[in-house]
Amino acid sequence: MHAFRFRQLFAALLLLGGLATLLVSIVRGAHLERADFVFVNGAEVSSLDPASVSGVPEGRVMYSLYEGLTSRDPRTLAPLPGMADRWEVSPDGITYTFHIRDDARWSNGDPLTARDFEWSWQRLLHPETASEYSYQLWYLENARAYSFLPMDLGDEERWWFDSRTFVNWNADGSRVRVGVHGFSGLSPTDAAAADAVQAVRARLDAAGAELRANPTPDASDPYGAGWLFEGSLEAPALEAALPSPFLPEPRAREELFWPQVGARATDEHTFVVTLASPTPFFLTLTSFYPLMPTHRATWEWARETYPGTWQIEWISPEHLVTNGPFVLESRRINDRIRLRKNPLYWDAENVAFRTIDVLAVEHYVTMLNMYLTGQVDWIDRCAPNLIPRMMPREDFNPESYLGTYFYRVNVHRPPLDDKRVRRALALTINRRAICEKIMKKGEKPLYSLCPDGLPGYPRPEMRHTPFAPDFSDYDAAFARDCDEARRLLAEAGFGPGGKDIPSIEIHYNTSESHRDIAEVIADTWKRELDVDARLLNQEWKVYLDTQNTINFDVSRSAWIGDYPDPNTFVDLFVTGGENNRTGWGNPRYDELVASAAEESDPTRRLALLAEAEAILLDELPILPIYSYVSQNIVNPRLGGFFPNVMDDHFPKFWYWMSDEELAEKRAAQPADWILVPAPGPAAGLFAPAGPPPYSLSGGTQR
């Protein structure tokens, strides 16, 4: 009996003791002192490799860890010196010469040179990297073709290249194709292309192949290399027939083609970029994170040390070498990224915070709780139901930025194939109700694709009755728009005396505010136009699939600009573009967008884009609804944090205001704002070694 009880007791003690030991051992070492600045960054970042990320949370970390050739003014986003301290632009806007600063260093002390940029850009473009944002470099000469170099697809596909032509065959040679590749500058549909492949063709024919002409060479072949002839030939005979350079190795292909891409380090400090056509926003792109450099030696070391594994060792906190204002100290997935000031950064004396914690928290209420209890200093969104309570506070100041909320319309489904119907639907959206009753943060009603705030852009709008910005005469204007809509429907043969309008399905991804907006719109359409609208919500990835296959009537959409230029919006709707997703296409539109890309005069270029957008707003494959505002809730003591049109924020410039500076700031703000606690060091945290960094003068432009 006693022994039995002992066993029981022992088991219980063992269990409890085990649990306690486990707990202590797990928790020990997990604790970190609070960083100088802590912010919530939304979802966990998908990577710390600038070449394989896209997304706002990732961007914030990239702007801390890395720096591109240029950086951005936190207010205007105008280019500031970065790794390049000056640059020259040729008069035709094609050639950029960047001079890398003498004190540019990697965080391990290695000098950072122009060659690092050349290598990093090659890596971004390389098909093996499969970077989502490789297209940000396609403005470079031949860069697009380089991205489309066929990957080594094993035994399935073999390739041979010379300067203009390619031969592609499968392992047994039963299918041989000959064509011109993307670097040749030839379109496969040109007559000159056929001449270019004659020599190769003759060799293959002489070796016994019988090549037939391809009746429909396709210029839109994704490799940029439509094939012109096809036939068959035994593989050994074929390989014997082809003169060198015979290039089975991907590495050898790189050596042949990389020199043709317009990115060249002419010496350690000079980086020359040749663009395919003048790109006025190119200096903004060079500060964008995909174009930031990565440390070649670490990357190659990891490749050799850990062959054939999925481990990405060069990016682990022990090994990652970066060149930005901060370095990576530690990282725990779904928890935090701890950044530490990089003492080797060229402008380190103007970086205030010694440590920054970047937290991965997705839950609206959780992040607000953390902010309200002082655990974090900045959160980037506000739970929708709390907006009215947050609005009067001094730490919540929504500002417009380049984001558009709109509905895509499937222009091939009746009755939406009639542009009068689309126009009627676009007019009959009560944008005031959506902005004021649902969104509530001061969103602006939108009648165009591009939102307001694009410098110098003569933004067109779809035809509608104008109203005052404070909505005082909105109802009358909206009533007139509804009359016009009814007239348009009647003209299209619908409504009283005409056909009944088939019901329309509004498709959106599952979310409360999307549903509310869809309900308001469906309701208005029913009341004003007698159009039946059903709602269909889908889980995010299913919704994307539906949208990509254009299997909807009307589908909720949004677009956030990549860079402050209308091109980032207008470019979406070129015929067949992968982000078009409406089935709409207009040759004149495509032509205008293409000629804008070639135009070197900035004013004329913007006029061309505006003309294109006007076509879009006349045909309306989209129903514009409102433009976005930011929802930052930020500790009032934070300095160096400014609203801007991209809602981009750069940790390099942040600092804690002293009590005096905070008082000064509060004196300047509207008196009816509710003051909130502003925790932080009362004496401020900023090394006032130089002038405020954002007032540095920019580069020289010739």
Site for other proteins in 115-134 (CB under 8 A): 127-128, 130-132, 134
Beta bridge partner(s), residue 661: none
Q: Are 605 and 411 in contact (CB under 8 A)?
A: no
Chain-centre distance of CA 358, in angstroms? Answer: 20
In the three-class reduction of DSSP (H, G, I as helix; E, B as strand; rest coil), residue 164 is classed as coil
In angstroms, the CA 422 to CA 415 distance is: 9
Closest C-alpha to 543, from 571, 521, 577, 515: 515
Nearer to other proteins among residue 524 and residue 635 (C-beta):
635
> Which one among 318, 578, 691, 702 touches other proteins, defined by CB under 8 A?
578
φ, ψ at 669 (rounded to 5°): -90, 160
In angstroms, the CA 357 to CA 378 distance is: 11
Strands 326-332 and 336-341: antiparallel
Q: How far is the CB of 649 from other proteins (least distance, A)?
A: 21
Nearer to other proteins among residue 157 and residue 239 (C-beta):
157
Q: How far is the CB of 564 from other proteins (least distance, A)?
A: 17
- Residues in contact with 699: Cβ distance below 8 Å, sequence separation at least 6, in sequence order: 70, 79, 81, 84, 85, 86, 87, 283
One character per residue 141-160, x = contact with other proteins (rule: CB under 8 A)? ------xx--xxxxx-----
In angstroms, the CA 474 to CA 464 distance is: 11
Amino acid at position 56, single letter: V
For position 297 contacting other proteins by CB under 8 A, the verdict is no
Report which DSSP code applies to 111.
B
Binding residues for other proteins restricted to 195-254, rule: CB under 8 A:
222-223, 250
Binding residues for other proteins restricted to 536-575, rule: CB under 8 A:
539-542, 544-545, 548, 558-559
Q: How far is the CB of 559 from other proteins (least distance, A)?
A: 8
Closest C-alpha to 293, from 563, 54, 63, 67: 67
Report which DSSP code applies to 352.
-
Instruction: Give me 565's structure tokens.
Output: 């230029």
Nearer to other proteins among residue 171 and residue 479 (C-beta):
171
Q: How far is the CB of 428 from other proteins (least distance, A)?
A: 26
Binding residues for other proteins restricted to 334-363, rule: CB under 8 A:
334-335, 359-363
Q: How far is the CB of 26 from other proteins (least distance, A)?
A: 4
Place of tokens 């088939």: 502
> Which one among 97, 260, 537, 579 touches other proteins, defined by CB under 8 A?
579
Q: How far is the CB of 578 from other proteins (least distance, A)?
A: 4
* Helix ranges (DSSP H) in 109-150: 114-125, 143-147
Q: Are 152 and 127 in contact (CB under 8 A)?
A: no
Amino acid at position 549, single letter: T
Q: How far is the CB of 249 from other proteins (least distance, A)?
A: 10
Q: How far is the CB of 125 from other proteins (least distance, A)?
A: 11
Q: How far is the CB of 127 from other proteins (least distance, A)?
A: 5
Closest C-alpha to 324, from 526, 599, 521, 48: 48
- Considering only 365-373, 401-409, 443-451, 669-677, which stretch makes contact with other proteins by CB under 8 A? 365-373
For position 64 contacting other proteins by CB under 8 A, the verdict is no
Q: Count residues contacting other proteins (CB under 8 A)?
A: 80
Q: How far is the CB of 6 from other proteins (least distance, A)?
A: 11
Instruction: Give me 193's structure tokens.
Output: 């292309």
> Which one among 99, 123, 201, 581 touches other proteins, defined by CB under 8 A?
581
Binding residues for other proteins restricted to 302-331, rule: CB under 8 A:
302-304, 306-312, 315-316
Nearer to other proteins among residue 1 and residue 668 (C-beta):
1
Neighbouring C-beta atoms of residue 668, cutoff 10 Å: 7
Nearer to other proteins among residue 153 and residue 682 (C-beta):
153
Report which DSSP code applies to 394.
T
Binding residues for other proteins restricted to 27-46, rule: CB under 8 A:
27, 30-32, 44, 46
Amino acid at position 133, single letter: Y
Binding residues for other proteins restricted to 612-671, rule: CB under 8 A:
none
Q: How far is the CB of 423 from other proteins (least distance, A)?
A: 26
Nearer to other proteins among residue 465 and residue 513 (C-beta):
513
One character per residue 476-505, x = contact with other proteins (rule: CB under 8 A)? ------------------------------
Instruction: Give me 460's structure tokens.
Output: 């067109």
Instruction: Give me 30's structure tokens.
Output: 């997990």
